[in-house]
Structures are given as C-alpha cells and as structure tokens.
Amino acid sequence: MFINRKSITSKDWILFVLIGFAIGLISVGPSFDLRSRAGGTPANIIIDASSSGERISTEWFHAFSQGGEESTDMIGPVVAPVSALSPSYIRIDHIYDGYATVTRNTQGLQYDWTRLDQALDSIVKTGATPVLALSYMPDVIAKDGSIIRQPNVWLEWTEVVKATIEHVSGTKRITNVYYEVWNEPDLGQFGGWKYYGDLNYLTLYAFAARGASRANQVQPFKLGGPSTTAMYTAWIDALVKNGHRLDFLSWHVYDKRTTRIREDILKFQEKYRDNEHIRTLPILITEYGFTGSKDALYSSSYAAAYTAATIRQVWDLNPRPILFTFQLKDGPSQEDGWGIIGHESKGAIKKPRYHAFSFLDQLKGERLTLTGEGSWVTALAYKDEATIRVVFINVDPDTPGAIHSENVPVTIEHLPPGQYTMRLRYFLGSDTTKGIHIIDGNPRKIEVYIPANSLVLLEVSPKK
C-alpha cells in the first residue's frame, strides 16, 4: 500500500450520459458517436444464444485490500456495506506496527492480539477469509527500532511469525488464511529490500517460513510472496530457488492499461511453461488500480469502468489470479483516496467503483460465445435459463476521463422464435425496456449505445 506517496489529485471532469438504442428499424433515443474512431477498432458484437460454457464464479475478483491509514479496525464501521459485496478475501497489512501486537519484557517477547482480533473478527463477519501481510518488523526486535529493517536476531522474526500463525490459524481457528511475507519489499519506503545483499528478502522469507513450519495445532493455511510492486521474474526465480515453503505468488499492479494484469499472467505462464511447479502456483494480485497515487478519478465512474474492464481482461485466463481491489475504505483525512467506500466520518459514501461489482454480478447462468469486442468496448454474455444477459464495458485506458461513447451493433444468433422483452440498464442510470417480436430463427440485430467510461447491461428474455 502506498500510504506516504505524494497525493496527485485530478481536476473534476464531467461525464455526459446519453442513453439510446436501436432495434431493427425501430430506434429509441439518439444514435450517434462522440468518439473519434481513429487509432482503434469499434466493437461489433456477435453472440451465439445456443452455445454454453462455464457457469459464473465471482470469488476470484471479489477480493479487497485495506490499507493501514488508521491503527484500528477499519473494516468494523463498514461491515454492512462490505458484506453486501460478498467478499471472498480481505487483505490487511501493518499487522505488527499498526496493531501494536508485539512487545518485550524480562520474560521475552509478549503478544497482545486484542486490536488485530477486532480487525479479524470484522473481516470474518463480512463472510471473507483474511489475508495477512506479515508486516512490518516489530520495533522491539528491529534493527535500530526501524520497522522496515531486518531484526537484530533473525530467530525472533521466526518466533513472531510462528506466534501469529498459531494465534490466527490456531487459537482463532480461522481456516485457509493466506500469509503474505511483507508488503512491497522493493519499495524504498518499505525498506528497499533486494533478493541479494545485506537487506535480503530471501532471508526475511526463509526465517518466516521456518516460523510457519513450526506452528502447532493450526488449521490449513498458505504462505507466500513476494508482494512486490510489479511482477519481477528475477524475484520469483530467487524465491523459488530459495527452497522454502511457497504456497502462492503475489505482486501488485498499478497501471492505467486494463490489459496489464492479463499481459503479466500470460508472460508468467510463457516464461515458466516448462516448470509446472512454478507455473501452477496460485497467483494473488494483492493490490491493483490505475495509479498508486491518490486521485480524484478513484471517486468517478472511470474507476468503475476501469475495474470492470480489468476483470474482463482476466476473465478468460485459466487459471485466474485472485484480484484484490485496493482499497475498501478511505482513511479519515482522504479527500481523493483509493477507497471504494468513503470514511465513516464523511458518511461512508459508496463510490461508483463499489457498484461495479454488483453490476457484474447480474451475469448468471452459463457463458455464451461472444466475439467482436473492440479497442474500447468489451463485453461478457451469459444465459440463465431462457434469459440472455450481456454486460458491455466502455473505457479508454489511454486517456482517463475522455469522452468516448460508441453505438455498438449486436447480433444475437440462434435466438428461438417468439416474443421477447429487451431491457437496457445503464450503470448508475436509468432502465429502458422494449418489446421484441421474433418471427423466425434468423439473427436478431440490435444496436446498443454505450456511454463513455461506463457499463451497460442488455437483458433479452421471453415475454411473459
């Protein structure tokens, strides 16, 4: 998490939402295109209504990271809206320095889990499994008392990790917790660790792995890393060769390109295609967004479209990584924070990005074959019994906030004869409904207007 980076705030921008669609020779609303078609390919969607594929699963993108802007349980005040997201995993860091868990007296290291337990209990209340970044170094064991440095005695770091796992996965009996060794170790403000030299992440990881292996009477759990600011294969190679327990790999992605995570995963799979052990390790993208700096755009519809478009790009990967949206809630003094929910002191406002998840969750049933996505507009189609639902996503990763709308031709092939109702639901906007009469099995052509930086749901169902 980028707590101390300089905040870069974008100016407010205006999103013009114009709604319209045309069906056959019948038009409803405007039919025009504000976007220059130069430099990209417009979408021309074709859907096979007779096809069938995988059933929808959302666990892999219903994961969230919470930063440590407050040394308290930040999830507790927003348990209700977070629970409504049906989160699969929630990640927190600063578990040692932020929650004051480790002290020392004449008997040795002592542990007070009170504040961390409050955060863990809130995570569990939402229905999510905790993911804990083992960070940062407890000051009572750290060299010069610095929480971003190595310990004075490495075996004390081993003892801290052992005690943590025995408490969370043992005493609290929370199963399948992911323990991630450190957070962004390569970043200067978190230590500037390397995979060689004096400040060596491999040593940090090795002694953490020893602690994990010595944990007794615990539920199943996973240990991994390196949680770097990007996918660095040199770090991954070194970590694998380190030879210690490694249950998953993790890194962060901050890039305005919605294709970045997909590109990284494909590169990873290609590099390690002949190494099944590495290639099949679960991958957690434990933070992602379009910039690591605070930005007013995180409170805009652009952020929602960016998130949905990124999820769409990862959708076809097999296996898929777990995507952790950063972050759940703003800090108390953040005007343009990363949160999908504002701080409770400012009303815990649900930002547009919050609603993107429930919008995608409207896809139900079995996936349909869909072709013809463009440079800006992408789409997913599913069929639930006789109802077809298609989510369109329009985002311009090159110029966030730009006005790029598009009229998208949509052809639905193999739609059985009959009467249908078509509904268009615009993200954070209105619904439009139109009756359709199909007299034969010929492809049914529809034109759907997709506003700039937005999502649209097309629903076609038999008329009741």
6 in a structural domain: no
Contact 231, 278 (CB under 8 A): no
Residues 144 and 197 placed together within one structural domain of the fold: yes
Residues 27 and 87 placed together within one structural domain of the fold: no
Name the average pLDDT for the chain: 90
**In a 10 Å sphere around its CB, with 0-12 CB exposed, 13-18 middle and 19+ buried, how is residue 421 labelled?**
middle
Mean pLDDT of 380-392: 96
Residues 250 and 228 placed together within one structural domain of the fold: yes
Residues 159 and 183 placed together within one structural domain of the fold: yes
Whole-number Å distance between alpha carbons of 174 and 218: 9
Instruction: Find the range with the poorest average confidence among 78-82, 210-214, 421-425.
Output: 421-425
Residues 249 and 294 placed together within one structural domain of the fold: yes
Going by pLDDT thresholds of 50, 70 and 90, the confidence category of residue 444 is confident
CATH number (domain holding residue 438): 2.60.40.1500
Neighbours of 184 (CB within 10 A): 26
Whole-number Å distance between alpha carbons of 187 and 419: 59
CATH number (domain holding residue 123): 3.20.20.80
What is the pLDDT, as a whole number, of residue 39? 73
Residues 302 and 172 placed together within one structural domain of the fold: yes
Q: Residue 318: which domain range? A: 59-360
DSSP 171: I
Supply the pTM of this predicted model. Answer: 0.91
Q: Which of 342, 360, 378 is the last residue of a domain?
A: 360
Phi, psi of 444 (to 5 degrees): -105, 120
9 in a structural domain: no
Residues 250 and 333 placed together within one structural domain of the fold: yes
384 in a structural domain: yes
What digits encode the pLDDT tens for the residues 218-254? 999 999 999 999 999 999 999 999 999 999 999 999 9
Whole-number Å distance between alpha carbons of 405 and 402: 9
Q: Among residues 302, 300, 307, which one has the least CA distance to residue 326?
A: 307
- pLDDT of residue 20 exceeding 60, the answer is no
Q: Which of 325, 360, 395 is the last residue of a domain?
A: 360
Whole-number Å distance between alpha carbons of 392 and 158: 49
179 in a structural domain: yes
What is the pLDDT, as a whole number, of residue 15? 31
Residues 28 and 138 placed together within one structural domain of the fold: no
Residues 311 and 201 placed together within one structural domain of the fold: yes
Write out the H or E segment, with its range, that includes residue 114: helix 114-125
What digits encode the pLDDT tens for the residues 99-145? 999 999 999 999 999 999 999 999 999 999 999 999 999 999 999 99
Residues 336 and 248 placed together within one structural domain of the fold: yes
Residues 261 and 356 placed together within one structural domain of the fold: yes
Whole-number Å distance between alpha carbons of 370 and 449: 18
What is the pLDDT, as a whole number, of residue 400? 67
Q: Which of 360, 391, 418 is the last residue of a domain?
A: 360
Whole-number Å distance between alpha carbons of 83 and 81: 5
- pLDDT of residue 27 exceeding 90, the answer is no
